[in-house]
Amino acid sequence: MSEDTASLPATIGVAGAGTMGAGIAQLACAAGAQTLLYDPVPGAAERGAQRALEGLEKLKARGKLSAEQVRDAWRRLDAVDALEGLAPSELVIEAAPEVMDVKRDLFGRLTHGILAEDCVIASNTSSIPITALAALVEHPERFVGLHFFNPAPVMRLVEVIAGVQTGERALALARATGAAMGKRVIDASDGPGFLVNRCGRPFGLEALRAVQEGLADVETVDRIVRLGGGFRMGPFELQDLVGIDTGFEVSKSFYELSFGEPRWRPSTLSARMVASGRHGRKTGRGWYGYEAGGIVREPDPEPPAASGPVGLGNGLVVIDGELTIADELRALAMQAGWDVRDPGDADGEVPFLILDCAGTPGDEPLQGGPIALLCAEASLASLDGGGPAAGFHALPPLDPGGLVELTRTSGTSDLSAERSEAFFGSLGLHTAWVGDAPGLVLGRLVCQLVNEAAFAVGEGVGSPSDVDDGMVLGLNHPRGPLAWGDLIGLEHVLVVLDALLDERGDPAYRAAPLLRRMVWEGRLGVATGAGFHDHGDLPGD
């Protein structure tokens, strides 16, 4: 069977009727397949089928399904009370607990006298290698990963994962099934976290490192990520939602399966939280406290009014540098009414503020007024050790209502600090003061997301489009990391990573070879027309 001829199986079995299994069964019967739902716990299959019906009814209430479609789907869904009831299946999707012994017993029974030899078996596992699971079944070429995201009926993504022995027929059937369920199907090779969960690792791990290094507290990191990065939820809020203990076990699994990859090193902060019993929402306390199921944190403030230079000196600001962030700051400042000039064009006037976005360690910062240095190629202490400059960092797209991080050293003058805060506020941007480091908080987090995605693409785990679609559709990120890297400018991403590696001496910050090679080749992203994605011809080409 080729991918072109594969179609939704007539009968799909789902082994496991918990939250994921019930959701998958709902998708299968709604797509048109006769669906058999099994669970070894007495009554669990019936409860799972009822949850699937409730999900279908919700879709009807929202106008997504007609009453007739709901009735037809419900008629196609059968709860079976014995594993042998899955025998007619052409595809069985396993949604059992993530316990190897449980899966070993399940697959052993299914493939010894129950399922036909040509029945494809798919696992919804998110953490166990598909190749290892395939070794548990007869005819491992029929075994494939089919990873749905929670909640399965809502999330628009499914990963199809090939183990070492997975055959093309199994892959084609899995892809066709996902497509018939209305999902964006992406391919991933076998490995820790497959594609999406692997590429999402830095979101939590870098946040933990930032807190552990004293750059910011938990609440500040989450606020920066929400306001500066456009994420719906900060990394610590997400850890509380998922369960800190669950996330810690996943981190340990990644680290062990990779034989000690530094990028995936678990955090001692997570270990401490787990030991304390503060596991998140489910225990009533995690990084945040919870009352009546709600989160106890301050609401995000409204952005300052974009007042421009009114009341702020002569309205002159000097901006230097060729990175995309420098261009965005120029555009925002001019839109707000500032007199924006390049260095050397101030004609002897002392500017309200100088923004130096081109500083490198060892270079003398620009002179002639209060100054803020972009902390990309190094920390502020390295760029202006003992000097009066303030530091800042932000990432494109920088729109009103976004956030700029600020930092200072013992030598930073109050004037540079105050004017930096006032200038960014005049553009309608939030500000947050954090500790000193290359990329500050959001920069290091996002640059590591780009870096992990570049490692995955370079290692053939997935394509750039699959990575970006997966992160948006599977993890609700505001944009794909590779598209974001192209927008930021890959040279900007690389200098932050190199600076972190140089200052920290931690191989977790080594740049992906593919990322470095693309910068060497001048494929920097949107600004050059090509990066991880093709952005077409530049104006004037």
**Residue 112 is a catalytic residue:** no
> DSSP string covering 324-373, please?
HHHHHHHHHHHHHT-EEE-TT-STT---SEEEE----TTSPPP-SS-EEE
**Residue 124 is a catalytic residue:** no
The arithmetic mean of pLDDT across residues 459-487, rounded, is 96
* Sign, CA torsion 96/100/102/108: positive
Selecting from 3.60.20.10, 3.40.50.10490, 3.90.1150.10, 3.40.50.720, what CATH number does the domain 316-428 have?
Answer: 3.40.50.720
Q: Determine the distance from the C-alpha atom of residue 338 to the mean position of all C-alpha atoms in its chain, rounded to a whole number.
A: 36
**Residue 147 is a catalytic residue:** yes
Question: Quick one: CATH architecture of 11-190?
Answer: 3-Layer(aba) Sandwich (3.40)
The arithmetic mean of pLDDT across residues 414-419, rounded, is 97
User: Which alpha helices (DSSP H) does 159-242 contain, by range?
Assistant: 168-180, 196-199, 201-212, 218-229, 235-242
* Fold annotation for 198-296: N-(1-d-carboxylethyl)-l-norvaline Dehydrogenase; domain 2 (1.10.1040)
| 3-state secondary structure (DSSP) of residue 219 | helix
The arithmetic mean of pLDDT across residues 158-181, rounded, is 96
Q: What is the pLDDT of residue 537?
A: 55
Neighbours of 282 (CB within 10 A): 15
Selecting from 1.10.8.590, 3.40.50.10470, 1.10.3720.10, 1.10.1040.10, what CATH number does the domain 443-528 have?
Answer: 1.10.1040.10
The arithmetic mean of pLDDT across residues 131-146, rounded, is 94
Compute the 3-state secondary structure of the chain and give helix, strand, coil in percent, each to the nearest 5. 45, 15, 40
- Choose the catalytic residue: 159, 377, 405, 491: 159
Mean pLDDT computed over every residue of the chain = 94
Q: What is the pLDDT of residue 216?
A: 98
Task: Please determine whether the domains at 198-296 and 443-528 fall in the same fold group of CATH.
Answer: yes
Token digits of residue 149: 């995201």
Q: What is the pLDDT of residue 362?
A: 67
Sheet containing 403-407, strands listed edge to edge, beginning at the edge strand earlier in sequence: 339-341, 316-320, 353-356, 371-374, 390-393, 403-407, 430-433
Task: Give the DSSP letter of residue 426.
Answer: H
319 Cβ contact list (under 8 Å, min separation 6):
326, 329, 330, 333, 340, 341, 342, 354, 355, 357
| 3-state secondary structure (DSSP) of residue 413 | coil
Q: What is the pLDDT of residue 538?
A: 46
Tokens 């797509």 belong to residue: 31
- Choose the catalytic residue: 123, 124, 126, 253: 126
How far apart are the C-alpha atoms of 132 and 488, rounded to whole Å? Answer: 39
- Choose the catalytic residue: 147, 393, 477, 492: 147
Listed residue (442, 435, 407) closest to 421, CA to CA: 407
Listed residue (203, 226, 220, 215) closest to 402, CA to CA: 226
345-391 tens-digit pLDDT: 877 789 999 999 987 776 777 777 899 999 999 999 999 988 999 99
34 Cβ contact list (under 8 Å, min separation 6):
10, 11, 12, 76, 78, 88
Q: What is the pLDDT of residue 5?
A: 64
| More confident of the two residues 186 and 400 | 186
- Choose the catalytic residue: 89, 197, 270, 416: 197
110-122 tens-digit pLDDT: 999 899 999 999 9
Lowest-pLDDT range of 208-212, 356-360, 472-476: 356-360
Q: What is the pTM of this model?
A: 0.93
**Residue 126 is a catalytic residue:** yes
